[in-house]
Amino acid sequence: MSLFLRLLGDEDKGAALLDAVRSVAAGEPDGRVFEVGPASFAQVPGAPFAYWVSEAVRSAFSCNSLFESDERVARQGGVNGNDFRWLRLWMEAPAAGSTQWSSVPMAKGGAFSPYYSDIYLVALWDPVRDTFFGFTGLPHRPSLQPASFPYYFRPGLTWPRRTQSGLALRAMPAGCIFADKGPAGMALT
């Protein structure tokens, strides 16, 4: 076992260190002192040095299967490089059949909303080329199709990549594409 001292919340680090060491020497409990076996870090993929996490949390990684497997994937959606060119609110898209492109619903992150959020964006999609209408890739990634294209149009879960309120998984229906700011997870079966 190794002792770890967490003094991040203390203004006077020297005094806090002295108090924590005295608590250890006296055998008194201190919320800033953690006793962890270094081998337990290996239970978490990448073995992060997360001494402040409980043993129950660390062991959850070895007791449960990984989300990403032969049956499931999690992917970041494609970056088109110009949202103003290829994305519209669903009410702004031209009526069906009025142009060469079609409107495809697009999950693109958004505000915190657990379980459900309207998919209010559509992409200007070229169904013949299976890409954004007129898309030829990005300067650093010349490609006809956006990243993660093989996973587009499948049902699954999506979530905002960044939020102040925590993880908010929500349903993503079949027929949608997803963006880099709204990654998606889905079953492959």
pLDDT tens readout for residues 136-162: 777 776 777 888 889 999 999 999 888
The pLDDT value given to residue 29: 92
Contacts of residue 73, defined as CB under 8 A and 6 or more positions apart, other chains included, come to 151, 185, 186, 188
The pLDDT value given to residue 161: 84
pTM exceeds cut of 0.85: no
User: Between the CA of residue 129 and those of 95, 119, 144, 183, what are the distances in Å?
Assistant: 20, 23, 8, 23
H helical segments located in 124-175: none
pLDDT tens readout for residues 61-110: 888 888 888 889 999 987 878 888 888 888 887 766 666 567 889 998 88
The pLDDT value given to residue 99: 64
Q: Where are the domains of the chain?
A: 2-63, 72-187
pLDDT tens readout for residues 8-66: 989 999 999 999 999 999 999 999 999 998 888 888 877 887 888 888 888 888 888 88
